[in-house]
Amino acid sequence: MIKAGIIGSTGYAGGELVRLLKQRDDVEIIWYGSRSYIDQPYASVYQNMYEIADDICRDDDMARLAEEADVIFTATPQGLCASLVSEDVLSRAKVIDLSADFRIKDVGVYEEWYKIRHASPQLIGEAVYGLPELYRNEIASARLIANPGCYPTCSTLAVYPLAKEGLIDADTLIIDAKSGVSGAGRGAKVDNLFCEVNENCKAYGVAGHRHTPEIEEQIGYAAGRPVVLSFTPHLIPMNRGILVTAYAKLTRDISYEEMKEVYDRYYGKERFVRVLPKDVCPQTRWVEGSNYVDVNFKIDKRTGRVIMMGAMDNLVKGAAGQAVQNMNLLFGLPEDAGLKQVPMFP
């Protein structure tokens, strides 16, 4: 039995972790951390957990939690995990951080984009980027996992094969992404009110969204050199889902069949990445509630570009589901354990 603790259990990602882990017989949640609801029943925050998770919410004492848990999930604002984690904690428990604290290897880049001082820079080098499709072997032996962001997960998986094979000029890469409102978190914000979001679509974080350097870093690894790209996210009036449409110049003429072979070579054996048939575009409704990422591409012969597309659930593969996938790897379990949910429709 794996004993799991969740710090930040009452945010959307934390709540999704509870939902996924509560369906398992091999995991026990022993700690529902929440600064906002200390000493309140967890089911009073999320009534869907009534008679399922009736434990009391606790604080964020990671040192104490590490004495009781095998794995600690931190679904918290940027900066908190870095301020709590330590060598002593990591000697006792695995840590899977759903914030951005350990995703970017250059501490200066992190501090520039997130406008906070990193509290544990000495641990950045050890942290493994938790994208199993790319770093499965490294994840399995890690102590500290940097769970990727939702936009970077979908963007990277859509673009990675072509960047890795040198089939696109990565410096021409433009990524247009759209997210459901849950991606903005559960905090009360005027911009997220129903009347502000409903019947509306807007760009935000234009030329400055904090996920940009994370995407650049991962695509840079694929391309074998530093990459600068344009990333623009948009808010869509739906609860969950991410849709990525990426554009780049091709480095040579290539047929559909040849490009399809590249995607199949990278993802043909992946449990959670589905390469769709020709001319079938990814849609958020076909991945909702699941850990799947649907990807596809379209070659535009007229412009010499390729359009790369991806769709996924931002709370599952974009956050909690990927964290559980990483936990499975850490403990030598089947990678899809607890993640076999079929996408929900309607």
Distance CA 223, CA 3 (A): 39
Please list, in sequence order, all residues whose beta carbon lies within 8 angstroms of the beta carbon of residue 280, skipping any fewer than 6 positions away.
Answer: 296
d(CA 177, CA 203): 9
DSSP output for 205-256: STTT-TTHHHHHHHHHHHHTS----EEEEEE-SSSS-EEEEEEEEBSS---H
Q: Are 202 and 333 in contact (CB under 8 A)?
A: no
Q: Are strands 202-203 and 230-235 parallel, antiparallel or unpaired?
A: antiparallel
For residue 221, give the amino acid letter. Y
- Quote the DSSP letter at residue 108: H
Q: Widest CA span of the chain, in angstroms? A: 62
How would you classify the pairing of strands 27-33 and 57-58?
Answer: parallel
By annotation, the residues acting in catalysis are 150
Question: 275 is written with which tokens?
Answer: 């390469």
